[in-house]
Structure 1
Amino acid sequence: MRRITLWLLSTVAVLVLLFSYKTSTMGPGGESGAVAAGGSDGVVANPGSATDSSGSGSASGGTVTGSVAQTRWGPVQVRITVSGGKITDVQAVRVPDGNRRDQEINGYAVPVLRQEALAAQSAQIDTVSGATVTSDGYRESLQSAIDAAHLN
């Protein structure tokens, strides 16, 4: 009888521990967000409208914000600066950042995507290894900004 009681209590304890385990992808507190923190790598915060797909830009100059690309891991949105018919800057307005892994991936992927876009002057850029979903969303939003700016 003691063995059965001990076995039953051990099983219950293991199940309680198993179901209370929090994975690393849940992030602190399990919250999720989509607006990235600012920095010199092209990622800026945008507390404004997430659906803005226009700007004050044209083929000659200004800024244009691309449409929001809804990805599996969260929204991606970019803003381009145009001068003299060329893209002079690309900023990631929104990227998935719901957990540390998202932040880690986008910390290295967004600057690479930015450099690729500036070099290519188009949305025809390579996917960053390990950041396929973000790369796809980045290209989609970038293309909508380029279209809105009447480039290419």
Structure 2
Amino acid sequence: MSRFDRGTRRIALCGLTTLSAVVLLFSYRTSTSAALPEAAAAPDTTAADAGAVDTAALPAAAPPGGGARSGWSGTVTGPVVQVKWGQVQVRATLSGGRITTVDVLRHPDENARDRAINAAAVPVLVRETLQAQSARIDMVSGATYTSTGYVRSLQAALDQAGVA
């Protein structure tokens, strides 16, 4: 009889553990905000780029021809953003205040792994930008540093154009 009680206790303990895990899993709140967390927007400083100037922190210039205009047309180039694995720079072409083309001028490509990651990530980032018509896009999993640099350079370019 004591063996049956021991087995019953094990089953009850396993059931309660499973129930607790399911409750904790469903109570976990994921982020639904499109805004970047402060940690992702912070510059990545390493010993290798200690001498690099973070141009993304510089104030953005007014769009060519004067103040902020939502219907501005032209091409703006964002600053070179230093990330852990290299540099990222974006150029955006706008027509009537809408983003029509995004060119990634620089991205990490020092080795085959960097090239493979960014060959997959860059088109996704560009597509998301064209759909969102802003720099408020999701990061690409596996290319977090490139995504962060892309968003910072793109936002600086859009700031230059006076586009929100």
- Shorter-chain TM-score above 0.5: yes
Q: Which residue of 2 aligns with 1:109?
A: 121
The 5 Å alignment of 1:48-127 reads: 59-127=71-139
Question: 1:74 is matched by which residue type in structure 2?
Answer: G
- Quote the Cα distance in structure 2 between the aligned partners of 1:130 and 1:64: 28
Question: 1:66 is matched by which residue type in structure 2?
Answer: G
Question: 2:107 is matched by which residue type in structure 1?
Answer: V
| TM-score normalised by length of structure 1 | 0.62
- Quote the Cα distance in structure 2 between the aligned partners of 1:149 and 1:117: 15
Q: Which residue of 1 aligns with 2:163?
A: 151
Unaligned runs of 5+ in 2: 1-54
Coordinate RMSD, CA, aligned: 2.0
Q: Which residue of 2 aligns with 1:44?
A: none
Could you give the per-residue CA deviations for residues 60-80 of structure 1, whole angstroms, max 9, x where no partner exists? 201000011110001100000
Could you give the per-residue CA deviations for residues 72-128 of structure 1, whole angstroms, max 9, x where no partner exists? 001100000000111111110100100000000000000000000111111110010
- Quote the Cα distance in structure 2 between the aligned partners of 1:128 and 1:136: 9
Q: Which of the numbers 106, 131, 140 marks the counterpart of 1:128?
A: 140
Write out the 4+ residue segments of structure 1 that deviate beyond 4 Å after TM superposition. 53-59
Could you give the per-residue CA deviations for residues 20-78 of structure 1, whole angstroms, max 9, x where no partner exists? xxxxxxxxxxxxxxxxxxxxxxxxxxxxxxx7x87869742010000111100011000
Percent of pairs with identical residues: 57
| TM-score normalised by length of structure 2 | 0.58
Question: 1:91 is matched by which residue type in structure 2?
Answer: D
Structure whose alpha-carbon radius of gyration is higher = 2
- Quote the Cα distance in structure 1 between the aligned partners of 2:87 and 2:160: 19
Q: 1:111 to 1:88 in 2, by over 3 A?
A: same
SS in 1 for 2:76: strand
SS in 1 for 2:136: coil
Choose between structure 1 and 2: higher helix proportion.
2
1:56–1:64 Cα contact (<8 Å) kept: no
Q: Which residue of 2 aligns with 1:42?
A: none
